[in-house]
Amino acid sequence: MTSKGVALVTGAGGAMGSACVARLTRDGYKVALMDKNEDGLKESVKKASSDSKYWIVDQTNETETRTAVQEIEDQLGPIEALANTVGWCEGTKFADESSDYWHKVVAVNYLAELYVTHPVLKGMIERERGKIVYITSDAAKIGTGGEAVYAGAKAAVCAFAKSIARENARHNIRVNCTAPGATETPLMREVEQQNPEMIKRMVKLVPFRRLGTPEEQADVVSFLLSDDARWITGQVISTSGGLTMC
Give percent of the chain above pLDDT 70: 97
Claim: this prediction has a pTM higher than 0.75: yes
Res. 115: pLDDT tops 50: yes
The domain of 163 spans 6-239
Helix H or strand E encompassing 221: helix 214-224
Asked if the structure places residue 12 within a domain, the reply is: yes
CA distances from 37 to 34, 46, 86, 193 (A): 9, 15, 12, 22
Answer whether 215's CB lies under 8 Å from 19's CB: yes
Q: What is the average pLDDT value for the chain, to the nearest integer?
A: 93
The number of domains in the chain is 1
Residue 13 lies in a domain: yes
What's the pLDDT at 1? 43
Looking at the domain assignment, is residue 195 inside a domain?
yes
Q: Is residue 198 part of a domain?
A: yes
Of 29, 110, 134, 150, the catalytic one is 150
Inside any domain, residue 97: yes
Examine the residue annotation and report whether 150 is marked as an active-site residue of this protein: yes
In a domain, 246, yes or no: no
In a domain, 244, yes or no: no
Tens of pLDDT, residues 58-86:
999 999 999 999 999 999 999 999 999 99
Asked whether the beta carbons of 8 and 78 are under 8 A apart, the reply is no
Mean of pLDDT values over 102-125: 98
Between the CA of residue 114 and those of 67, 111, 136, 137, 161, what are the distances in Å?
Answer: 14, 5, 14, 17, 10
Tens of pLDDT, residue by residue over 127-159, are 999 999 999 999 899 888 889 999 999 999 999
CATH code for the domain of 155? 3.40.50.720
**pLDDT-derived band at 246, boundaries 50, 70, 90:** confident
